[in-house]
Structure 1
Amino acid sequence: MTLSVGCLPAAYSQKAINPIIHADVPDLSMIRVGDTYYMSSTTMYMNPGVPIMKSKDLVNWKLVSYAYDILDGTDALNLDNGKNAYGGGSWASSLRYHKGTWYVSTFTGTTGKTYIYTTKDIEKGPWKKISFKPMMHDHSLYFDEDGKIYMLYGGGKIMIAELADDLSGIKPGTTPKVLIENASAPAGNNIGLAAEGSQLFKVNGKFYLFNITWPRGGMRTVNIHRADKITGPYEGRLAFQDKGVAQGGLISTPKGDWYAYLFRDFGSVGRIPYWVPVKWVDGWPILGIDGKVPDTLNLPANRSLIPGIVTSDEFSRKKKDAPLPLPWQWNHNPDNAHWSVTAHPGFLRITTGRVDSSVLAARNTLTQRTFGPTSAAATAIDVSNMKDGDCAGLILLQKKFGWVGVKMEGGNKYLVMVNGEKAAPEEKQRMALTGNKVYVKAEGDFRNRTDKGYFYYSTDNKTWTKIGNTLQMEYTLPHFIGYRFGLFNWASATAGGSVDFDWYRISDQISIY
């Protein structure tokens, strides 16, 4: 199964194809240590957070770790007291390796802090957490050869701050300084999104600062500034403008080839990574082939995203297994007292711990990425222990969500499809459910930004019937994340009901072609 090939000619399958990962993996930060590449990304209010991915060929990636289990325990991050962190949580990270220690730094407007996580083993941990104020927006962590530690950060006006040796905050006795007054300038004067997404690199004795900016009426654009010293002065130029592929930085292969790793806003599936070749001319990195993103690259072919980035799960665990495979993330901080993979061996049990107003307010929704060009997820649910007012099932999760599953009302269970495109979610179809086990499926069509979601049910896991209507998916800034498949159970009347998910299975095939 080759998810990234899509409808391109078969001959292309011998080479890497853009997008490298057709799934929501934005705000990339990447390093190579020896012959191994590591990459961090943004998953915001999903937990565990700041995923770490590993690759040997720069194309095929596998999740190996997260920097944290939860970022902090605030009401917004916990979905408590009517608050949420949709659109918030941790944003762009910076990944570094220095003198035997791995560093992942990030920041969040949700708490107003900067966070730095350190470990001696990036794949196995454990991670040590440091946090401090102020929040340094879209920063780049840099260890200079003279022993000083810096963060470059900001939007439009790029700042530089020296950090304390123990990374506990800004170095006492120093104050942040303006590094570049207007980092957007190379892209012109009519700027909508001021330059941000700073990533700093040192190549052949010179410093290169990558930023993204967005001219009004134009597209996401890469600006690069160059200097002989980290403190400047910097000279800048517009470096790349094609398909809106922007924000990222530089990586080299062991053979000495160079690439820029960038990403593209691609509708409801999210922000998806592209690589572009880099050549060096007069001390500047020149991105792309004739200034364009190539469809193919002289790198090994893309293989399936399953099970490296997403995975099926039978919920069967051996003694030493982790409770959940790495591709799973909770929507906001989980309530660990109310889910289990051991209470009913071979099943994921989600028990309601409180009454909520909607599926978006409910804790313990367990998610994985959707992926393109097409993807499907199915699950089997035992609903015998639901309580009146409970809703459980499979969701395509974003602000404009849709779900298929079971509602219990007046002592009766109903199979329903709910469309959440409007402010008030609408139940589009219901039917009486006989028995306590049902199979449900959600499909996403992301081809050419079609962004359609379809929902199905089955009583025997063989014959599937469409239910409800088509969800018109939309990437919305209030949530600021690509659509997720999610398993949920929430109570609208009385806490304490539970459902058991027998398995979760994914595919890159959908019913509608």
Structure 2
Amino acid sequence: MKNPGLIALIFFYTMVVGFTYGQNEKARNPIIHADVPDMSMIRIGETYYMSSTTMHMAPGVPIMKSKDLVNWEIVNYTYDILEDIHPLNLSNGENSYGRGSWASCLRYHEGTYYVSTFASTTGKTHIYTTKDIENGPWKSISFPPSMHDHTLVFEGDKIYLVWGAGRLTMVELEPDLSGVKPGTETVLIENATEPAGNNIMLKAEGSQLFKVDGKYYLFNIAWPRGGMRTVIVHRSDHFHGPYEGKVMLQDKGVAQGGLIDTPNGDWFAYLFRDYGGVGRIPYLVPVRWEEGWPVLGVEGKVPDELDLPKNGSLIPGIVASDDFNRKAGDESLPLVWQWNHNPDPEHWSLSARIGHLRLTNSRVDPDVLQARNTLTQRTIGPVSSGTTKIDVSGMQDGDVAGLSLLQRDYGFVAVRTEGGKKTIIQLLAPEGKEEILEEIPLGQKTVFLKAECDFRDRKDLAYFYFSLDGKEWKPIGAELKMKYTLPHFMGYRFGLFNYATKKPGGFVDFEFFDISDEISLHK
């Protein structure tokens, strides 16, 4: 082509079309392809905040922040540890897998932020308050009983909790939040499941209540047998009722959450979907108002696209790489990290060897599920990989240390020391029963380990690799079928771990952890 004018015209057209397309790119569901269940959300001016469930992890109840409802970052946690007890400490043979703190409620009232949650592990309802949601400090209050899936309600000068499953109960709290005011427990809705029918597998739960234009809207989830997770909304002109209810969404199993509006007056429902090994993932659903009801979805369906800014990477807001180098004044661990159960602070360090995470064994454990100080991050979809380098020269006989994908049916690639010899092993635990699939001699003090996750089309498969130089990677063992199990009730997590099977005192140094939203070794 030799016509300069035509070339310039084509170039201009290409640039304009490309720019317009980029500007018009929309957000897509899920808004976060990672385990962020039981969301509760508020908007303060043009800033959104969201809390979520992390159960047995510590610190717990993450606070996430967004300016556009789509792209989120973790900015705080409401507690470092829920309580100092055996199940949460992974001590005395006990654990809190699938328990810990569940569905939280995030609210803002007269200058104070409130996060309330509950835990069968402690048998209590826990309420945290702060004036500064991003920096704290948080004041902690707790009292029995553990009020299941409750919502916090401010009505006049009184504070209430609505909670329960099927039969929803209301109680008034003491003004200082120290407990339930005696004699205030009443039934708010006798059978909140009724709009979804009589053949029910999961009764209405997950309560979240909102007041919009003088009316009260109570969101719940139910699950009809042979059907899917279903959104039920009850409304009333008065907080105390009576309430009338309707099924407001039944599509893809997207359910449980509540309402949020934007500064320009648009409305959305924030909900989540059970999505296999990656966990329970958040969706946004457009809401329009008809005859005083919030109508969810587009013609009753959850759209793939949303009229919101496009999704960016979950790195580094939800997950992030870490070189374990710390300067004076740096946070000890970025907020993307959580410990599997309460950590033992005397036996992990970022200062024992500069630029490394050192994990030291303080006791003997039977397997990785009981290992103290396993440091975790979420896996993310559609695909993700985690890579680390580990110095194993401090290991003792019987020690096992490496990179895991953590759930009940876990798998890992690790170094094991046995009889004075070190080997690289790949282990899977289908139904929680361990099996070593491959074992390779290791003749050096450092090794690189990698795990790759493929959640595309619900494959839920993971693959493990090792490298002696960080350049040439070799597969090891067999693929892991990442099965979401209720005993853990959580999506798979990358975990850095070290545990002793014979005697305490051994240690390993992790030089870095890199996470990527691509997989390069297994296509």
TM-score range, shorter chain: over 0.9
Name the residue aligned to 2:77. 66
Name the residue aligned to 2:392. 383
Alignment counterpart, residue 143 of structure 2, candidates 121, 132, 143: 132
Residues in 2 aligned to 1:461 and 1:228: alpha-carbon distance in whole angstroms: 64
Name the residue aligned to 1:46. 57
Pairwise CA RMSD: 1.0
Deviation at 1:512, TM superposition (A): 2.0
What letter is aligned with 1:60? N
> 2:126, 2:142 within 8 Å by CA — same for their partners in 1?
yes
Residues in 1 aligned to 2:23 and 2:196: alpha-carbon distance in whole angstroms: 34
The number of residues matched between the two structures is 502
Deviation at 1:20, TM superposition (A): 0.2
Find the residue that maps to 2:433 and give its secondary structure.
coil
Name the residue aligned to 2:14. none
Residue-by-residue CA offset, 1:9-62 (whole Å, 9 max, x unaligned): x97981000000000000000000111000000000000000000000000000
Name the residue aligned to 1:336. 345
Summarize the Cα distance change of 1:136–1:313 in structure 2 as closer, same or farther, 3 Å threshold. same
> 1:251, 1:260 within 8 Å by CA — same for their partners in 2?
yes
> 1:12, 1:296 within 8 Å by CA — same for their partners in 2?
no
Residues in 2 aligned to 1:14 and 1:21: alpha-carbon distance in whole angstroms: 17
Deviation at 1:334, TM superposition (A): 0.4
The 5 A counterparts of 1:84-483 are 84-144=95-155, 146-172=156-182, 174-483=183-492
Alignment counterpart, residue 36 of structure 1, candidates 47, 51, 54: 47
> 1:91, 1:138 within 8 Å by CA — same for their partners in 2?
yes
Residue-by-residue CA offset, 1:256-292 (whole Å, 9 max, x unaligned): 0000000000001000000000000000000000000
Summarize the Cα distance change of 1:311–1:209 in structure 2 as closer, same or farther, 3 Å threshold. same
Summarize the Cα distance change of 1:74–1:13 in structure 2 as closer, same or farther, 3 Å threshold. farther
Residues in 2 aligned to 1:49 and 1:110: alpha-carbon distance in whole angstroms: 14
Residues in 2 aligned to 1:323 and 1:21: alpha-carbon distance in whole angstroms: 26
Deviation at 1:175, TM superposition (A): 2.9
> 1:369, 1:482 within 8 Å by CA — same for their partners in 2?
yes
Residues in 2 aligned to 1:315 and 1:13: alpha-carbon distance in whole angstroms: 39
What letter is aligned with 1:430? E
Which consecutive aligned stretches of 4+ in structure 1 deviate over 6 angstroms post-superposition?
10-13
Find the residue that maps to 2:430 and give its secondary structure.
coil
What letter is aligned with 1:110? T
Residues in 1 aligned to 2:411 and 2:205: alpha-carbon distance in whole angstroms: 33
Residue-by-residue CA offset, 1:374-409 (whole Å, 9 max, x unaligned): 000000000000000000000000000000010000
Name the residue aligned to 2:66. 55
Mind listing any 5+ residue stretches in structure 1 that lack a counterpart?
1-9
Residues in 1 aligned to 2:144 and 2:118: alpha-carbon distance in whole angstroms: 10
> 1:13, 1:302 within 8 Å by CA — same for their partners in 2?
no
Summarize the Cα distance change of 1:37–1:423 in structure 2 as closer, same or farther, 3 Å threshold. closer
Residues in 2 aligned to 1:492 and 1:127: alpha-carbon distance in whole angstroms: 39
Residues in 2 aligned to 1:276 and 1:393: alpha-carbon distance in whole angstroms: 40
Which is higher, the Rg of structure 1 or of structure 2? 2
Deviation at 1:74, TM superposition (A): 1.2
TM-score, length basis structure 2? 0.95
Deviation at 1:423, TM superposition (A): 3.7
Residues in 2 aligned to 1:42 and 1:377: alpha-carbon distance in whole angstroms: 23
Find the residue that maps to 2:87 and give its secondary structure.
helix
Deviation at 1:129, TM superposition (A): 0.3
TM-score, length basis structure 1? 0.97
What percentage of residue pairs aligned between the two structures are identical? Answer: 64
Find the residue that maps to 2:206 and give its secondary structure.
strand
> 1:78, 1:334 within 8 Å by CA — same for their partners in 2?
yes
Residue-by-residue CA offset, 1:39-91 (whole Å, 9 max, x unaligned): 00000000000000000000000000000000001111111111100110000
Residues in 1 aligned to 2:23 and 2:47: alpha-carbon distance in whole angstroms: 25
Find the residue that maps to 1:154 and give its secondary structure.
strand
Residue-by-residue CA offset, 1:291-314 (whole Å, 9 max, x unaligned): 000010000000000000000000
Find the residue that maps to 1:77 and give its secondary structure.
helix
Deviation at 1:111, TM superposition (A): 1.1
